[in-house]
Structure formats: C-alpha cells, structure tokens
Structure 1
Amino acid sequence: MDLQLSGKVAVVTGASKGIGLAVTRTLLAEGARVVAASRKSGAGLDELAGDGLVHVPVDLMDPEAPGRVVARAVEEFGGLDILVNNAGGPPPGVRLPRFSFLAPTDEDWREMFEFNLFSVVRAVRAAIPAMLRRGGGAIVNVSSGSARQPAPMNVDYNAAKAGLHNLGKALSEEFGPQGIRVNTVSPGPVRTAWWTEEGGAADIIAAQAGTDRDTVMDSVAPEMMKLTTGRLVDPQEVADVIALLVSPRSGSTTGADVAVDAGFFKAV
C-alpha cells in the first residue's frame, strides 16, 4: 500500500534506536525526508545516511532544543509535514522501573515531566506554525499503555504519559479544523534499549526475581504484565502503525489513541 508520504518532511525525536529508529527507517523507505533528533547518532541511524536524512544532535531536556530541531527541518527541506514525538522513557541517567510512589523525589518528577511531556509541548508549539504554512500536517505522540493502567510502579512516568493523552486530544480539537491531525500511539513493553541494555529494566527486574535478563524478557515480563501475545512488542510493529497514522491514508483519524501493546491494556 502506498502511504503517499513521498516528499513529505518529518521530524522524529528519539530517532537513534528502538521505536524512533524504526520510524525513521520506515518513513525514509516511503520516500519521506526525515530530520532525526537524538542526543547522539548510532550505528543503525548511520546506516540510513543519505540525502533524505539529517541528524540533529540535541538533548530534549534543553527547553530550546525542540524548536531548533523544527527550525532545522524548515531550513533543510523547506517546511514540515510530520512530527513524531517518540523520545521518552527514563530521562538521561535514570534507571526504571521504580517500585513505589515513595521512590521518586521532587527532582525526579520534574525531570520525568520535562522529558516525557514538556519536550513534546515545546516540539508541537514549534511545529504547528510550520505545518500551518504548508496547509496542515500530522502529529503522533508516542505514549504508553501505562498511562491508562495505574500501578504502583513508575508512577511519575505514568502520570507524565497520561498528560500526553490529554494534550493530544486537546490539540486534535483545536487544530483539526486547520488541517493538523494529532494522534497518540500507546505501546506496551517494547524490546528496546530500555529493557535490553545493561542495567536496564530487564536487569532490574531480574535482580528482584532472582533470574537473568533474557528470562525476564522472554517469560517473566510477559507473564507479569499479562501480555496476551506472550511476548514483548517489536519496535517495527509500533513504527508501522505510526507510519499509517501520519499518512494521508489516515485522513479521517484524529484524536485517537492506538494501542500497540501485546494485549497489555485490558479495560473496555
């Protein structure tokens, strides 16, 4: 299916690995031009180098960074059609999960909201004028199934992502009539560096459960989170949904929250 993305200009945050890298690869394959934002590049992003890709090294905890990324897209490619706010999860230097509401400090809460909510607010604020000059656009905010599934774990992260859901709905109402569609994608646990890297979630849970990292990802985490499919989500599965949502083929989809969560969220 042709997603009609050829020639479109996209900004993807958190683009050097995981979901962001999969989104960047998919959009490039569909003919879009991509400005990829991340603190540093990586082997996967370097492999995609070409005329249609620009990497902008930024720390999105810097309030000025989202605006610089959008400005670079306009400078390099003449405008902006697509914004994928994928960057999120543990702020730099933070390890999750935290197992109690009492664990994060005030500073932890501030950092979590800066990275997972305020950076999105700033990116959208910068992107909307550029999109309006093109007659519209599409924004996808990557949230989490945990935004709708309260639990005594990662409470600060879950709260920030819940705010992202509300933000997306509000943006879709205000800017939908002006041609800007805003949707949310809520992954479940995805097999990304958050889980797989040394000291990541799998190692932390393994230490609690008295097992090893691979066993956590292959069986303990799917069982603990009651995943219907019995496995963690693959990043490409999330990227495929995002690519469809930013496509003109989804022209009547706005204000939606799409779960790609292996059956994590059970409520009706």
Structure 2
Amino acid sequence: MDLQLSGRVAVVTGASKGIGLAVTRTLLDEGVRVVAASRKSTPELEALGGDALIHVPVDLMNPEAPGQVVSRAVEEWGGLDILVNNAGGPPPGVALPRMSFLGPADDDWRVMFEFNLFSVVRAVRAAIPPMLRRSGGSIVNVSSGSARLPAPMNVDYNAAKAALNNLTKALSEEFAPQGVRVNAVSPGPVRTAWWTEEGGAADIIAAQAGTDRDNVMDSVAPEMMKLSTGRLVEPQEVADVIALLVSPRSASTTGADFAVDAGFLKEI
C-alpha cells in the first residue's frame, strides 16, 4: 500500500530506540524526511543514515527543546507535516514499575508530567503554526493502555497519559477543521528498553517474582497483564499503526485512540 507520504517532513521524538526508532525507520522507508529527536543517538539510528534523516540531540525535559526540534525541521526542509510525540515512559533516571500510590513524592509527579505531558504540549504548540501554513498536518501522541485502566501501579504515569488522551481529543476538536488531525496510539507492554535495559521493568518484576528477566518478558508479564496474544508487543507493530495514521489514507481519522496492546485493555 502506498501511504502517499513521500516528500513530507516529520519530527519524531524519542527516536533513538524502541517505538521511536521503528517509526523513524518506517517513515524513511516511505520517503519522509525525518528530524529524529533524542537525548543521544544510537548505532541503530545512525545506521539509518542518509540525507533524509537529521538527529537533534535534546533533552525534552528542557522547556525549550521541543520548539528547537520543530524549528530545525522548518529551517532544513521548509515546513512540517507530521509530528509523532513518542518520547515518554519513565523520565531519565527513573525506574518503573512503582507498586503503590504512596511511592512517588511531589517531585516524582512533577517530572512524570513534565516528560509525558508537558513536553508534548510544547511540541504541539511549536508544530501547529507551521502545519497550518501548509494547510494541514498530522499529529500522533503515543499514550498507553494504562491511561484507561486505573490501577495503583505507576499511578503517576497513568494519570499523565490519561491527561494526554484528553489533550489529544481537545486538539483534534480545535484544529481538525483547519486540516490538522490529532490522534493517539495506546500501546500495551512493548519490548523496548523500558523492559529490557538493566534495572528496567523486567528486572524489577523478576526480583519480586524470584525469576529472571527473560522469563518475565516471555511468560510472567504476559500472564500478569492478561495479554490475549500471550506476548509483549513488538515496536514495529506500533510503528505500522502510526505510519497509517499520519498518512493521507487516514484523512477522516481524528480524535481517535488506537490500542496496539496485545489485548491488554479488556474494557469497551
């Protein structure tokens, strides 16, 4: 299927690994010019190379960073058509899961919202004017199935993502009539660094369950989270949905939230 994306300009945050890397690769394959934002590059991102990819090293916890990334896209390629707000999850230096509401203190809540909500607010604020100058664009916010499944585990993260879902709907309501579509994608547990890195979720759960990280990702986590497919989601599976959403082939899709979650969310 031709996604009709060739020649368009995109910004992807959290682009150096996981879902962001998969989105960047997929958009490049579709002929998109991509500004990839992350704190640092990775060999996997560098391997994509080519004239259609620019890496901007930024810390999105810096209030100025989202605007700087969007400005770079406009300076290099004259405008912006696509924004994928993928950066999120545990803020730098934070390990999840947290098992109780009583765990995170005020500062923990602040940095969680800074990373998972306010950085998106700033990126969208910067992106919409150049999109409007091109008579439209597409924004995809990467949320989480946990935004719609209240639980005491990771309560600060879940609340930030619930706010992101509300923001997505509000943005769509205001800007869809002007040609800017805004949607969300809500992954379940994805086999990314959040799980796989040393000290990450797999190690934390393994220590509590008396097992090893591989068993957590292959068996314990899918069973604990009641995943219908019996396995974690792969980053490319999320990236494929995002690529379709930013495509003109999804021209009538806005204000929606797509679950790519291995059957995690059971509610209607």
Scaled by the length of structure 2, the TM-score of the pair is 1.00
The answer for unaligned runs of 5 or more in structure 1 is none
Show the counterpart of 1:211: 211
Displacement of 1:152: 1.1
Displacement of 1:219: 0.3
Instruction: Please give the residue correspondences for 1:87-236 in structure 2 after superposition, counting only pairs within 5 Å.
Output: 87-236=87-236
**For residues 159 and 180 of structure 1, what CA distance do their matches in structure 2 show?**
26
**For residues 73 and 107 of structure 1, what CA distance do their matches in structure 2 show?**
33
Any runs of at least 4 consecutive aligned residues in structure 1 with deviations exceeding 3 A, and if so which?
A: none
**For residues 33 and 131 of structure 1, what CA distance do their matches in structure 2 show?**
15
Alpha carbon RMSD of aligned pairs, Å? 0.3
Cα displacement string for residues 84-110 of structure 1 (whole angstroms, at most 9, x for unaligned residues): 000000000000000000000100000
**For residues 184 and 197 of structure 1, what CA distance do their matches in structure 2 show?**
26
1:258 equivalent to 2:268? Answer no
**For residues 241 and 170 of structure 2, what CA distance do their matches in structure 1 show?**
21
**For residues 152 and 212 of structure 1, what CA distance do their matches in structure 2 show?**
24
Scaled by the length of structure 1, the TM-score of the pair is 1.00
Show the counterpart of 1:245: 245
| Structure 2 SS opposite 1:157 | helix
**For residues 79 and 192 of structure 1, what CA distance do their matches in structure 2 show?**
31
Displacement of 1:173: 0.3
Show the counterpart of 2:56: 56
The answer for unaligned runs of 5 or more in structure 2 is none
Cα displacement string for residues 12-56 of structure 1 (whole angstroms, at most 9, x for unaligned residues): 000000000000000000000000000000011000111000000
Of all paired residues, the percent bearing the same amino acid is 85
Displacement of 1:190: 0.1
Cα displacement string for residues 54-84 of structure 1 (whole angstroms, at most 9, x for unaligned residues): 0000000000000000000000111000000
1:65 equivalent to 2:65? Answer yes
